[in-house]
Amino acid sequence: MEPRHFLLGLCAIFHFSLRVSSESSCKLKAKFNLSGYKDVEKKKVVIGGMFPIHKRIASNDGNTSRLPVSSGCEGFNYRTFRWTQTMLFAINEINAREDLLPNTDLGYVIYDSCFTISKAVEGTLTYLTGQDEAVPNYRCGNGAPLAALVGAGGSDLSIATARILGLYYFPQVSYSSSCSALQSKFQFPTFLRTIPNDKHQSTAMAQLVLHFGWTWVGTIAADDDYGKYGIKDFRSQVEEAGVCISFSETLPKVNSPEAIQRIVRTVVESTAKIIVVFSSDVDLSPLIHELLRHNVSNRTWIASEAWITSALINQPGVSSVLAGTLGFGVRSAHIPGLQQHLLDLDPYSDPLTEEFWETMFNCTLDYGKALRMAKDRVGETNGTSSRVARGVPEGLCTGRELLAQLNTTYSDVSQLRITYSVYKAVYAVAHALHNLEDCTPGQGPFHGNSCADISNFEPWQLMYYVKNVRFKVPHTDEEIFFEKGDVEGYYDIINWGVDGNGEISYVTVGQYNGSADPENQMTIRNDSIVWNNDELEPPRSVCSENCQPGTRKGIRQGEPVCCFDCIPCADGEISNMTNARECFLCSEDHWSNDAHDVCVPKIIEFLDFGEPLGITLIVISAFGALVTISVGVVFVLHIGTPLVKANDSLLSFSLLFSLVVTFLCSIVFLGEPQHWSCMTSQVALALGFALCLSSIMAKSAVLMLRAQVLKAARSRAKAAAKAAKAAAEAAANCGSPDVIVTNTNNNNDLAAFTKPEVDYLTFAHQRAITAAATLIQAIACTVWLIILPPFPVKNTSAQNIKIILECDEGSVVFICCIFAYDILLALLAFIFAFLARKLEDHFSEAKCVTFGMLVFFIVWISFVPAYLSTRGKFMVAVQIFAILASSFGLLSCIFLPKCYVLLIKPERNTEDMMRPRAKPRDGSSTGTSASLATAATEVTATNASTNIDD
**DSSP assignment string, 786-848:** HHS--EEEEE-SSSTTEEEEEEE-S-HHHHHHHHHHHHHHHHHHHHHHHHTTT--SSS-HHHH
Phi, psi (rounded to 5 degrees) for 938: -85, -10
pLDDT of 725? 82
pLDDT of 62? 62
Torsion angle of the four alpha carbons 785, 789, 792, 795, in this order, in degrees rounded to the nearest 10: -140
| Rounded Cα–Cα distance for residues 694 and 516 (Å) | 92
Full DSSP string of 583-608: -EEPPTTEEE-TTSSSEEEPEEE---
Q: How many CB atoms lie under 10 A from the CB of residue 382?
A: 9
According to DSSP, the residues that pair with 107 across neighbouring strands are 46
| Rounded Cα–Cα distance for residues 184 and 197 (Å) | 11
pLDDT of 608? 83
> Is the confidence at residue 600, as pLDDT, over 80?
yes
Q: How many CB atoms lie under 10 A from the CB of residue 947?
A: 10
Average pLDDT over residues 165-170: 92
Interacting residues of 407 by C-beta distance below 8 A, sequence separation 6+: none
Where are the extended beta strands (E) located within 182-243? 191-193, 216-222
User: Cα angle at 389 between 387 and 391, to 5 degrees?
Assistant: 140
Closest by CA position to 937, among listed 914, 906, 919, 909? 914
**Contact of 220 with 205, CB cutoff 8 Å:** no
Q: How many CB atoms lie under 10 A from the CB of residue 870?
A: 14
Strand 244-251 versus strand 216-222 pairing type: parallel
**Contact of 159 with 149, CB cutoff 8 Å:** no
pLDDT of 948? 30
pLDDT of 226? 92
Average pLDDT over residues 329-352: 93
Confidence of residue 513 (pLDDT cuts 50, 70, 90): very high
Confidence of residue 724 (pLDDT cuts 50, 70, 90): confident
Indicate the DSSP class of residue 196.
-
Closest by CA position to 863, among listed 883, 891, 890, 839? 883
pLDDT of 263? 96
**Contact of 683 with 640, CB cutoff 8 Å:** no
pLDDT of 138? 52
As separate numbers, helices (DSSP H) first and strands (DSSP E) second, the chain gives 26, 27
Based on the number of CB atoms within 10 Å of its own CB, is 941 exposed (0-12), middle (13-18) or buried (19 or more)?
A: exposed
> Is the confidence at residue 507, as pLDDT, over 90?
yes
| Rounded Cα–Cα distance for residues 159 and 831 (Å) | 109
pLDDT of 749? 46
> Is the confidence at residue 15, as pLDDT, over 60?
no
Per residue, the 3-state secondary structure of 150-179, as one string, reads: ECCCCHHHHHHHHHHHHHCCCCEEECCCCC
Which one has a higher pLDDT value, 725 or 941?
A: 725
Average pLDDT over residues 451-480: 93
pLDDT of 578? 87
pLDDT of 843? 53
| Rounded Cα–Cα distance for residues 517 and 501 (Å) | 41
> Is the confidence at residue 851, as pLDDT, over 50?
yes
Identify the three-state secondary structure at position 346. Answer: coil
CA distances from 886 to 521, 526, 631, 654, 755 (A): 82, 78, 17, 17, 38
Q: How many CB atoms lie under 10 A from the CB of residue 837?
A: 18
| Rounded Cα–Cα distance for residues 81 and 52 (Å) | 8
- What is the rounded average pLDDT for all residues in the chain? 82
Q: What is the pLDDT of residues 728-746, one digit of tens each?
A: 888 777 654 444 444 444 4
Instruction: Identify the sign of the CA torsion 421, 425, 426, 427.
Output: positive
Average pLDDT over residues 292-308: 93
According to DSSP, the residues that pair with 111 across neighbouring strands are 36, 50
| Rounded Cα–Cα distance for residues 690 and 716 (Å) | 39
Average pLDDT over residues 282-310: 93
> Is the confidence at residue 436, as pLDDT, over 90?
yes
Average pLDDT over residues 268-292: 93
pLDDT of 940? 34
pLDDT of 825? 87
Could you tell me what percent of the chain has a pLDDT over 90? 38
| Rounded Cα–Cα distance for residues 878 and 883 (Å) | 9
pLDDT of 300? 94
| Rounded Cα–Cα distance for residues 347 and 353 (Å) | 5
Q: Indicate the helix (H) or strand (E) that contains 419.
A: helix 418-437
| Rounded Cα–Cα distance for residues 649 and 631 (Å) | 13
Give the lowest-confidence range in 118-122, 381-385, 779-783: 381-385
| Rounded Cα–Cα distance for residues 13 and 637 (Å) | 169
Full DSSP string of 103-166: T--EEEEEEE-TT-HHHHHHHHHHHHHTSSS--TT---SS-PPEEEEE--SSHHHHHHHHHHHH
Strand 599-601 versus strand 590-592 pairing type: antiparallel
**Contact of 346 with 353, CB cutoff 8 Å:** yes
Phi, psi (rounded to 5 degrees) for 173: -120, 115
> Is the confidence at residue 390, as pLDDT, over 70?
no
CA distances from 120 to 78, 111, 153, 163 (A): 19, 8, 9, 12
> Is the confidence at residue 689, as pLDDT, over 90?
no
> Is the confidence at residue 934, as pLDDT, over 50?
no
> Is the confidence at residue 261, as pLDDT, over 60?
yes
* Whether the predicted model's global pTM rises above the 0.85 cut: no
> Is the confidence at residue 750, as pLDDT, over 60?
no
> Is the confidence at residue 144, as pLDDT, over 90?
no
Confidence of residue 769 (pLDDT cuts 50, 70, 90): confident
Identify the three-state secondary structure at position 549. Answer: coil
Q: What is the pLDDT of residues 852-875, one digit of tens each?
A: 888 888 888 888 888 777 877 888
CA distances from 864 to 310, 659, 861, 871, 878 (A): 87, 21, 6, 13, 9
| Rounded Cα–Cα distance for residues 643 and 897 (Å) | 11
| Rounded Cα–Cα distance for residues 470 and 428 (Å) | 8
Average pLDDT over residues 221-225: 93
| Rounded Cα–Cα distance for residues 617 and 747 (Å) | 56
> Is the confidence at residue 714, as pLDDT, over 80?
no
**Contact of 44 with 105, CB cutoff 8 Å:** yes
Torsion angle of the four alpha carbons 265, 271, 274, 279, in this order, in degrees rounded to the nearest 10: -20
**Contact of 629 with 653, CB cutoff 8 Å:** no
pLDDT of 817? 87
pLDDT of 619? 92
Instruction: Identify the sign of the CA torsion 128, 129, 135, 139.
Output: negative
Give the lowest-confidence range in 11-15, 443-447, 503-507: 11-15
pLDDT of 798? 75
Confidence of residue 379 (pLDDT cuts 50, 70, 90): low
Strand 599-601 versus strand 603-605 pairing type: unpaired
Q: What is the pLDDT of residues 870-904, one digit of tens each?
A: 877 888 888 888 888 888 988 888 888 888 888 88
Could you tell me what percent of the chain has a pLDDT over 70? 84
**Contact of 613 with 607, CB cutoff 8 Å:** yes
Closest by CA position to 164, among listed 118, 199, 201, 115? 118
**Contact of 210 with 268, CB cutoff 8 Å:** no
Q: How many CB atoms lie under 10 A from the CB of residue 127?
A: 25
| Rounded Cα–Cα distance for residues 689 and 846 (Å) | 19
pLDDT of 338? 95
Terminal-residue alpha carbon distance, the chain: 206
Identify the three-state secondary structure at position 395. Answer: coil
